[in-house]
Structure 1
């Protein structure tokens, strides 16, 4: 539905509205993604999701940790990063694709409660504007280098160009990612292949590089510091899920394609991310060892590619391709950052205020925050921000993953099927919410040296360790009583079809007048009728909310 067509505030029955709500504009921001809207095949969803990881920040991250800690420690750090993110991302991606929910809706029923996940939405929204600003600054560097555009104008251009592309959600984003991916792949891979073929000695230089500190041998502290920087990307799984929620139903006929797409586009994103970090370090080492002044620009992706292009292309072509690569990469990732950030902000705002202003309002909010970060040149302390953020992101993601994998499937204390609707959940569940607060709080203290410099590099391990141990302990201590406020939503129709997919049965919401699929509906407490989850979330009086079951 559009901004102007948001449903009236729940609290009184409204007559059905004329005309269909423009849900394609809002992309089911606060609710289950219905079967009728999920018209894309598994391959399209997977390519669209993977198109969102085209960012160049991976190249800069790989270069920075290699320059700081040497190739060996950087590679081990990247491996730790990849393993943690794959294992934690798998259950989240599966739930998103299977039940067609974004990560906020999954988080609500996986230990956090209806209002408890507002905090995690803010964490995720922060991720999107930090990385939007980082990618926007890289694009501005490219525009300055290739076209002489001043950075402050480049920052504005890299922001303004995104807004119209994000307006129509998945409908446009799927086409954009599909069309741009082949060219992006060629431009990214060409320099790496050229060095391997024409300069095979660069391989030995790469593995022998010891960084600024001369670390040739593996060091656990250096490995964990490197992994901590990489793990700031852990919330990327939430952006992958914003695409995966549009997966088609899993059936016996498509199950192989379905599983392949889910794994590749879900936790599998980290394989591609790790490869980019390694390539970024490889290019940086080559520049440091072989190009005059290369050490000054080795961690800047624009210069990494330009310097290599210059070796086998005319200068004009080299700079043109470098600019094209930067612009395509920035657009591919920042449409996802802006889109996912708008979902997170809208979710939080609507639950707290009971008002639904529309997703596009928060596209503007997210872009404005990112632009302020870029224009204020706040990147001098972004490394500290990323390290701090990584502890919050890891705590959230790992807690939800453990709740799904352990509390649901092993301990059977958390309900297997996800629940997100108001009235069905307690406002706050101490299992996930408490675990995240303790995990994030303690690991942040470790990160800033509160427990001494000896343990300081291991804040990622502290965050992960507490996030793994606490949810099962708290679930057992509370006997799982704070997961569900109700077990009956007042509707006799089954929630799932014969294959375990969310039902496609349609019911009418008596508040907004729209026909909504069964998984998004509840019985109304005050009327002999049904109400959709979006209208229920805006019920300021609570009169439509079913009472708790004793």
Structure 2
């Protein structure tokens, strides 16, 4: 299936439409919002999925983040900080990406069964939703700066334009996003890499100036406090793995025939996104140092100014600003359709679980954009590093907790069920393993970040978030003996969840509530009818009529 095709046209994927089909069911079947993504829908090749996922990291924020760290702490500290953060993000992102691609579920569904419970993961859904609107606001601010430079638009109008223009693109989910990302990625790569190559080739002295830059508060050497402060800002991007998984969940089943391509795509588009991200941050430092003398430290972190300065060295003057604006606009659109899309999934998922109502994903597209616009109008770009440094503590605590549960509790201690579970009735409402670890790690690290334990320890808050989450997750699992992972071990359907190759089963069952057909992992037996019910109908069952009771053996 090519990137321009959508879903299979046979009725086996979702069944024929009936008068009883709810609007919620119809909308979630567009790209399986809140659901397991069935193999009948996943017809993209591994490389198409990977290209689509990587297209979403074309954001310009990395240039600003790198520039901010480099200008403050110097090139040496910035490069070490970027490298440290990249290693942490890669290591923690690997198990999450594997689970998303192997079992075809998003990060929220992974989190539910990896230590948090059915309602406990609402905490992390809000954290992830916050990530999407914070970075939407950051990218929107960068685009508004470009529109001001290129078209003379006031910033507040630029903020509004950058917000409204993504709405038509994000409505249709994976189908539209795959086309957009595949078509625009080559243009984006040429515009980003070309100026850097030209500057290094024609003026080697730029490299020496870049490497020797000491920063406004540095002495030219590398020191632990500066590295950790910089790494804390970079680690705010650790939650980006959630957006990568929103694409990776559409990977085809892993087989003997495709396992090489499958693993390449998962590593490249999963934790591998941080390799390109780290390179962009380093380029941001390079370009900021290059233009510093001509524009000053207050403007040097702006990507539009960085690329204007770079293009100015290699292109006719009449082409410089238009090309810089084109690069910024393409980058902003590529990432902000992903931010709007992923944020709407996170908000919708949380709301549906807590209220039993599905208001429609578009409602939360608008909610997410509203939060982002408010941040832009509040001029978040001027206090960017402070926001990201604070947010990174929450994001690190969440991702490290889930990654540790998968890597340690599932595979080493075998206290957490190996196959992920996300369906209501199968999970306890709250699992202390993830919730306690996350709350303790994020709470203590945030207190440390705000100098509660003194100025000396303040730079170590991201380290504290990671270490506490990594230690408490297995300790809590051992203390509770894994008691609160599964409310039931039997979902009432005799067929196994996984096929002989370890992939989720493709057998189709009819939900007796919405009268649609779903594959095996998305259904359970109904508590009150001799039939099966799908995961969304379970989520919206406000009286619990269809929810299976707790297993007898678990009550003993």
Normalising by the smaller structure, the TM-score range is over 0.9
CA contact (8 A) 2:143 2:162 kept: yes
Could you give the per-residue CA deviations for residues 131-168 of structure 1, whole angstroms, max 9, x where no partner exists?
10010010000011011111111111101110010000
CA contact (8 A) 1:424 1:487 kept: yes
Could you give the per-residue CA deviations for residues 51-83 of structure 1, whole angstroms, max 9, x where no partner exists?
111000100110110111111111110011000
CA contact (8 A) 1:24 1:169 kept: no
Matched, 1:220 2:224: yes
User: Counterpart of 1:235 in 2: which secondary structure?
Assistant: helix
Partner of 1:483: 485
User: Counterpart of 1:46 in 2: which secondary structure?
Assistant: helix
Distance 2:168 2:372 in 1: 16
Distance 2:216 2:349 in 1: 44
Partner of 2:107: 103
User: Counterpart of 2:524 in 1: which secondary structure?
Assistant: strand
Q: Call closer, same or farther: CA 1:108–1:24 in 2, change over 3 Å.
A: closer
Residue 397 of structure 1 and its aligned partner are, at CA, apart by 0.2
TM-score, normalising length: structure 1: 0.95
User: Counterpart of 2:353 in 1: which secondary structure?
Assistant: helix
Distance 1:15 1:307 in 2: 60
Aligned with residue 547 of structure 2, among 536, 545, 548? 545
CA contact (8 A) 2:25 2:514 kept: no
CA contact (8 A) 2:65 2:385 kept: no
Distance 2:282 2:306 in 1: 13
Q: Call closer, same or farther: CA 1:153–1:332 in 2, change over 3 Å.
A: same
Distance 1:408 1:463 in 2: 21
Distance 1:391 1:18 in 2: 40
Matched, 1:283 2:291: no
Distance 1:407 1:19 in 2: 39
Matched, 1:194 2:204: no
CA contact (8 A) 1:16 1:514 kept: no
CA contact (8 A) 1:26 1:359 kept: no
Partner of 2:344: 342
User: Counterpart of 2:492 in 1: which secondary structure?
Assistant: coil
Matched, 1:69 2:73: yes
Moved more, 405-414 or 307-316: 307-316
- RMSD of Structure 2 on Structure 1 (CA): 1.5
User: Counterpart of 1:516 in 2: which secondary structure?
Assistant: strand
Partner of 2:32: 28
User: Counterpart of 2:48 in 1: which secondary structure?
Assistant: helix
Within 5 A, what are the aligned runs for 1:25-424?
A: 26-288=30-292, 291-424=293-426
Distance 1:324 1:25 in 2: 35
Could you give the per-residue CA deviations for residues 238-287 of structure 1, whole angstroms, max 9, x where no partner exists?
00000000000001000000000000000000000000000010111111
CA contact (8 A) 1:159 1:371 kept: yes
CA contact (8 A) 2:433 2:476 kept: yes
User: Counterpart of 2:74 in 1: which secondary structure?
Assistant: helix
User: Counterpart of 1:33 in 2: which secondary structure?
Assistant: coil
CA contact (8 A) 2:49 2:251 kept: yes
Could you give the per-residue CA deviations for residues 313-352 of structure 1, whole angstroms, max 9, x where no partner exists?
1122111110000000000000000000000000000000
Distance 2:479 2:129 in 1: 32
Residue 48 of structure 1 and its aligned partner are, at CA, apart by 0.5
Q: Call closer, same or farther: CA 1:67–1:56 in 2, change over 3 Å.
A: same
Gaps of 5+ in 2: 1-17
Could you give the per-residue CA deviations for residues 349-385 of structure 1, whole angstroms, max 9, x where no partner exists?
0000000111111111111111122123244433222
Partner of 1:5: none
Partner of 1:519: 521
Distance 1:150 1:209 in 2: 33
Within 5 A, what are the aligned runs for 1:526-541?
A: 526-541=528-543
CA contact (8 A) 1:408 1:415 kept: yes
CA contact (8 A) 1:89 1:267 kept: yes
Distance 1:20 1:515 in 2: 15
Residue 310 of structure 1 and its aligned partner are, at CA, apart by 1.1
Q: Call closer, same or farther: CA 1:446–1:83 in 2, change over 3 Å.
A: same
User: Counterpart of 1:450 in 2: which secondary structure?
Assistant: coil
TM-score, normalising length: structure 2: 0.94
Partner of 2:464: 462
Structure 1 runs, 4 residues or longer, greater than 6 Å off:
none
Distance 1:74 1:374 in 2: 26
Partner of 2:501: 499
Distance 1:225 1:207 in 2: 19
Gaps of 5+ in 1: 1-13
Partner of 1:8: none
Aligned with residue 439 of structure 2, among 415, 437, 443? 437
Distance 1:317 1:536 in 2: 57
Distance 2:507 2:195 in 1: 52
